[in-house]
């Protein structure tokens, strides 16, 4: 069912890509869940989905945009699940919304697209319905939707620990970057299964995140960290390695790594101009790749009182 209302009546929120600058993963514990230690940042609106909503006597969702086809027939949509969860949490069964998801981020791409959509839905409906839940309340609702959703609710640089439930705000500079997806979906479950078969990281421990005031200094320190899922993902999807090689070959590239469970990779650059040039070059060389120049938005160090 399609929507054609006046878009001026809509409330809108961005759902930017979530990027794991590093991702350390331990052996599975009770219930098969893996402990993680990951530094997470978020892209700007050049690499983002968009959620729009207007009041309605029903709950419905329309999906549009370049990535809409990949979601057609999906059994579980986190956007609708988030709307239902917020409605239940505020005990207002009569609340409804006509939602539009403009899908740009790759599906099953390792950049938290579905989680970002769910978080944006919580934010936009929290405001539109006048619920006025604070961030902590929204994060508690988000926990029932998926391990990445609370981080996407917070939407600023942070470290994720435990199984994703422990979030710690951290400092990070603004980082000119590109995102490159080779156009091959990769299921998170399959990557973790392969990771376990290859031999899980039994030396797993939580580490202090890096801090550098410039992209160059930050990327230099970040090179001492890793994404533990990268070998498993490359074994399942060798095109990831080719994407990383392309990124590293671009002038001004400071660091290239896979995000999350893949297959999307990122490159950090010394300038916005360098990132834009690299994105254009890779997009021209690889027509089937999804490529975006963006900025990973930073946060200043928290001042310490004397």
Q: How far apart are CA 306 and CA 31, in angstroms?
A: 45
DSSP string for residues in 147-176: TTHHHHHH-SSEEEEETTTEEEE--B--EE
CA angle centred on 118, ends 110 and 59, rounded to 5°: 140
Q: Catalytic one among 49, 148, 193, 306? A: 148
Q: Which residues pair with 169 in a beta bridge?
A: 158
The Cα 48–Cα 165 span in angstroms is 23
Q: Provide the 10 A C-beta neighbour count for residue 30.
A: 5
Helices (H), ranges, 46-187: 68-71, 78-89, 113-128, 135-143, 149-154
Give yes or no: 18 in active site.
yes
Given the structure tokens 């054609």, which residue do they identify?
A: 4
Would residue 148 show up in a list of annotated catalytic residues for this protein?
Answer: yes
Tell me which of 18, 49, 103, 228 is the catalytic residue. Answer: 18
Q: Which of 143, 145, 170, 176 is nearest to 156 (CA)?
A: 170
Question: With b meaning 16 or more CB within 10 Å and e meaning fewer, what string describes 156-165?
Answer: ebbbbbeebe
Reading phi first (left if > 0) and then psi (alpha if -120 to 50, else beta), residue 165 is in alpha
Confirm if 40 and 157 have CB atoms less than 8 A apart: yes
> Which residues does the annotation mark as catalytic?
18, 148
């Amino acid at each position: 069912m399609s929507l054609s209302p006046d878009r001026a009546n809509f409330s809108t929120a961005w759902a930017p890509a979530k990027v794991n600058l590093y991702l350390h993963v331990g052996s599975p514990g009770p219930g098969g869940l893996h402990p993680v230690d990951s530094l997470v940042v978020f892209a700007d609106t050049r690499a983002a989905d968009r959620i729009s909503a207007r009041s309605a006597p029903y709950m419905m969702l329309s999906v549009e945009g370049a990535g809409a086809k990949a979601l057609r027939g999906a059994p579980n949509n986190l956007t609708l699940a988030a709307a239902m969860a917020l409605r239940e949490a505020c005990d207002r069964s009569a609340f409804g919304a006509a939602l539009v998801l403009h899908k740009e981020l790759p599906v099953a791409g390792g950049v938290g697209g579905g989680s970002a959509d769910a978080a944006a839905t919580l934010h936009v409906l929290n405001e539109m319905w006048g619920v006025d839940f604070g961030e902590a309340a929204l994060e508690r609702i988000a926990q029932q939707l998926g391990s990445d959703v609370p981080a996407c609710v917070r939407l600023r640089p942070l470290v994720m620990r435990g199984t994703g439930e422990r979030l710690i705000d951290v400092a990070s500079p603004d980082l000119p970057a590109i995102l490159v997806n080779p156009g091959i979906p990769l299921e998170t479950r399959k990557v973790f299964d392969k990771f376990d078969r290859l031999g899980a990281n039994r030396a797993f421990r939580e580490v202090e995140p890096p801090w550098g005031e410039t992209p160059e200094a930050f990327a230099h320190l970040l090179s001492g960290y890793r994404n533990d899922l990268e070998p498993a993902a490359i074994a399942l999807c060798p095109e990831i390695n080719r994407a990383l090689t392309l990124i590293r070959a671009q002038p001004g590239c400071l660091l290239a790594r896979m995000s999350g469970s893949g297959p999307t990779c990122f490159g950090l650059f010394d300038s916005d101009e360098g990132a834009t040039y690299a994105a254009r070059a890779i997009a021209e060389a690889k027509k089937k790749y999804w490529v975006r120049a963006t900025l990973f938005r930073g946060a200043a160090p928290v001042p310490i009182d004397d």
